[in-house]
Structure formats: C-alpha cells, structure tokens
A and B are shown apart, each in its own frame.
Chain A
C-alpha cells in the first residue's frame, strides 16, 4: 500500500476503503525494518503519528474529510522546524535543538490533515549533495545501499523511494557547492 501514489491512497481514504491508522502503522513498520540500513529518518514520531491517524480516522468517519492530504503520512526534512520535535539539520550541535513553533509549511500540511511521521535525514546543514555527511549517519540508496541517495534531501528521497511515507518535505538550499551537482532526481 505504501508504494501507491498519494492521489490514489487519498481517494481510498476518502471513501473509507483505507484506514489512516493502518497506513501509518504500515509506514512505521517499514521504517523500523528499513531505517537501520537506509538511515532515511533522523527522528521517527511514531506515537504522535498514531494519535494523529486515529484523530484523522475519526474525523473522516464523522464526515469531516479535509482534503487530499487528510490522513496521509508525510516526512519532513529535518531543516523545517517542528514544534516539540527536535530539528537538527543533521548537525551535531543541533542534536537537542527543539523548536517551539512549526515552520509555515509544516503548519499548512498539518492543517490539511497530513500526519507527520518523522524527520528525514539530510546532508549536514544542507551543505552537500550526497547526504553522506550527517551526524546521524550516511543516507543509503534504497535501490542499492552501497550507493548514495543524493542530497541534500537524501533522506527524503530514500523515504519516498522505499515507500516509508508520502511526500517528504524538503528544502533545496543551494549552498556554495550546489553549483557542483552531480547526482540525480526524478
């Protein structure tokens, strides 16, 4: 189910053929199984995501479908502040940095009913294109873990490709090195 497109799963959720709770649990199970190898996520917010999914399910059952992101598990690049959830940019000095406010884009996603399942790994401070330099370990490519997953949003790419969540947010911050891009995206 987690390889299906957002558009497709969203329609199933609206019609109540797919439960957001099941969807979140499936993603969390997959993260638990694959993240030790891929290191796509820095932080996984399992309990909060499960609670969010239960809430979404109840809302939708009560006829309050908020739109196509309602009940969809998303990953947020660890560049974007998340209230109460550490936001590190994969940088050692930010290991315990816990913002009090959500970034604007995160707030919008939550308002739309999306469920934040975790914070995705990245190249330290966005200053590279391979995501091998991260305080939390190099991101590995789900196609073949011997290879890099690109960057700086390598964790987001790996999470999407491996079906760990939908629609990771990512910021592309071309640093001084970004003129030297070498890797690929689709």
Chain B
C-alpha cells in the first residue's frame, strides 16, 4: 500500500462534515490524503486532486508539485526515534532496501520534541522545524509506528482510557514529525511494516522515484 499526505492546503478539505462544529485544532492540523497501491497511483490521484484549481487552495500554479522526476533526493535517516525492537529491526531493513536500490542516506536528528501543539505558534513552529530538519537533506525516513500493530481487543482496552497529550500509555511515542499511518501487517517478520517519507515543504521539484521493495 502507498499512502500520500500532501502539504497543507494542496488537497481540498472543503466539505468535510460541512456545517458541523469543528475544533480549531482539526482545521489547522487536518489533511486530506489518499491511499492506493503504488507511487504511480498516488501521482495519478495527486494530479487530479492536488492541483491549484481547488477553489480553497492557496497554492499558485508555479508551486504545484511536479510529477515524475526521477531525481534521487538527499535522504536523511532519523536516528533519535523511539520504537520497540521489532519496529526498529524492520525499519533498519527498510533502510538497507533503500541502499540496495542505490540511495545514499545521511543520519539526522529530528526535532521530535519540538512541536508544542500551540495553535498560536503553529505556523512558526512548522517553519522552524522545516528549516532545521531540511537544512542538508530533502526528505527524511522514519518508522511510521513505534510499536507493532495491536489486536482489536488490546486497542479497545486502550481506547477506553482516552489518553491526553503527553500522558498515558502512548507517552513519548512520537516516532515522527509528521506523516501518518494506516495499515500494518500484524507481525513484522523482518519485513517492511511501514515507513514514512517526509519531504520538505519547499522541495517541490518532484515526487521522487521512491519505490519500496516490500
């Protein structure tokens, strides 16, 4: 599976539960995104959904994401993520796969503790994080999960507790700066169980030719 989350505002979020009361947080942090089966499929969908014809898009034509660049981006591998040994092992195998595909990588520290989730500073925080993280590289690789997929039963138990930010069972589990996750194979078995690629908002020169061999 391939998931794609576009830069804020690139894919319209107009008409999501239109007319219902909504939290300011969700408006500022919500993305429209899609899932499909390959990078090519994601490119097709972005072509249809992500262009500046969207009436509420603030992006101009010259900022549109170009599709089909085969250029290899400079990749950073996040070293300071938190994850269980299973996830860590699967992630390292993923990085090996990138290497066998001919990508060079650089180790980086991601400002995982930085986001304050303060609405007043959100744009400023994004800019700062972007500047720090994407100084030398164009995209970062990091695991999408901190732990292997829970069973339904376990997840229901956790959901009943409704943890708040920075507290509870998930405390400190921020494996990623942004990106999202949807579906994991229940057991890693040494295979790729999910990898996020977060690209700099300023890097609009293409959807890179990143094809995972999973």
Contacts and interface: CB of A to CB of B under 8 A. Distances in A.
Interface stretch (A25-33, A44-52, A56-64, A147-155): A147-155
B16 A183 contact: no
A181 B182 contact: no
B158 interface: yes
B13 A157 contact: no
Interface in A149-185: 149-151, 153-154, 156-158, 160-161, 166-185
B152 A160 contact: no
Contacts of A149: 182-183
Contact of A169 (B32, B40, B54, B175): B32
Interface stretch (B72-80, B99-107, B190-198): B190-198
A105 interface: yes
B152 A147 contact: yes
B186 A81 contact: no
Interface footprint category on A: 35 or more
Contact of B183 (A7, A167, A186): A186
The secondary structure that dominates the B interface is: loop
A7 B55 CA distance: 27
Given A160-B36, A171-B33, A180 B182 contact: no
A5 interface: yes
Interface residues of B, number: 79
Given A147-B152, A167-B36, A182 B182 contact: no
A150 B47 CA distance: 26
A181 B176 contact: yes
A166 B38 CA distance: 11
B34 A169 contact: yes
Interface in A45-85: 67-69, 79-81
Given A103-B16, A112-B48, A185-B180, A146 B146 contact: no
Contacts of B41: 5-7, 166-167
B176 to A, nearest CB: 7
User: By CB atoms of chain A within 10 A, which of B40, B162, B181, B183 has the most?
Assistant: B183
A56 B71 CA distance: 36
B23 to A, nearest CB: 8
A128 B18 contact: no
User: By CB atoms of chain A within 10 A, which of B12, B41, B47, B214 has the most?
Assistant: B41
User: By CB atoms of chain A within 10 A, which of B36, B152, B170 has the most?
Assistant: B152
Interface in B1-19: 1-3, 5, 11-18
Query: 8 tightest A-B contacts by CB?
Result: A103-B15, A184-B194, A184-B184, A180-B170, A157-B183, A185-B181, A157-B182, A104-B12
Given A150-B182, A184-B144, A186-B195, 19 more contacts: A6-B45, A68-B48, A99-B18, A103-B12, A105-B11, A138-B155, A141-B184, A154-B182, A160-B1, A160-B36, A160-B37, A166-B37, A167-B34, A176-B164, A180-B163, A182-B150, A184-B145, A185-B182, A185-B194
